Homo-oligomer: A and B are copies of this chain.
Amino acid sequence: MQLANEVQKPHAQISTRPLSSATCLGCSRQSMCLAHQLEGEDLTAFDSIVKHSVKLNKGDYLYRSGDRFDTIYTVRSGSFKTFINDEEGREQILRFAIQGDIVALDAEFNKEHSTSVQALETSYVCSIPVNRYLELAASVPSLYTRLLTAMSSRIVEEEEHALLLGTKSAEQRLATLLLSLSQRNAARGFSGVELDLHMSRRDIGNYLSAAVETVSRLFTRLQELKIIDAHGKKVVITDMDALRKIAA
């Protein structure tokens, strides 16, 4: 349990610096995005309401608790943490979002966000105005079901996080997180073995509901057991089976 000690930072300067291929057509992340399975003119119409390549620097907020929910984001590159604060200012990280992940579906449209989202590194997102999305959905109903599916996934993820926090020891929790990051990396065509942990040890601890010191000790222990090879943010999983065994 730690108090929020982060300095209040202003919102990111929204600089729309186009990347190469800053369009949904041919985007490699389409299958994970809200544009999933869209084709032809539906995809073109969708593409036209999307603001591609919004850049955020490390520490910038995508939005903050209290902001109005009017935009859905998908991560083009980089990573984010989503967190919620309690009455006393204590912070709980709920999710680490990486490439392809959809961010913001945790508030009612036009109501206030209860969470905040902060970039863990230089990152780019696509931004989709919710009102325009819903307008478009009126003529392309699959956009409704796509949104419903995305929200179901969020609920399941959140349930699994509760399972993680509720039933596992600290060591199991860390092992589970590493496995999850590995799998998500692999699903995106990256290495499932070499991980770049862009979040701090404190963030990891917060997500797992463990003190920084505990996390540090756990890394050391996994290292001694020759299950991982960790140097700061770089972690190599050297014994995947053993890691799985610990996680379960």
Contact = CB atoms under 8 A, between A and B. Distances in A.
A107 B152 CA distance: 5
A90 interface: yes
Interface stretch (A29-37, A43-51, A138-146, A227-235): A138-146
Given A107-B152, A108-B153, A137-B144, A158 B158 contact: yes
A148 to B, nearest CB: 7
A149 interface: yes
Nearest to A144: B144
B141 A92 contact: no
Interface string A222-248: 000000000000000000000000001
Interface string A129-162: 0000010011001001101110111111011111
Contact of A151 (B114, B137, B151, B166): B151
A167 interface: yes
Contacts of A6: none
A167 B114 contact: no
A148 B150 CA distance: 11
B144 A108 contact: no
A107 B84 CA distance: 24
Contacts of A147: 148
A223 to B, nearest CB: 25
A106 interface: yes
A165 B162 contact: yes
Given A108-B153, A137-B144, A152-B108, A115 B159 contact: yes
Contact of A108 (B108, B115, B149): B149
A240 to B, nearest CB: 16
A107 B160 CA distance: 13
Nearest to A165: B165
A41 interface: no
A92 B156 contact: no
A72 to B, nearest CB: 12
Contacts of A105: 152, 155
A94 interface: yes
A163 interface: yes
A85 to B, nearest CB: 8
A155 B154 contact: yes
Given A88-B248, A167-B90, A114 B159 contact: yes
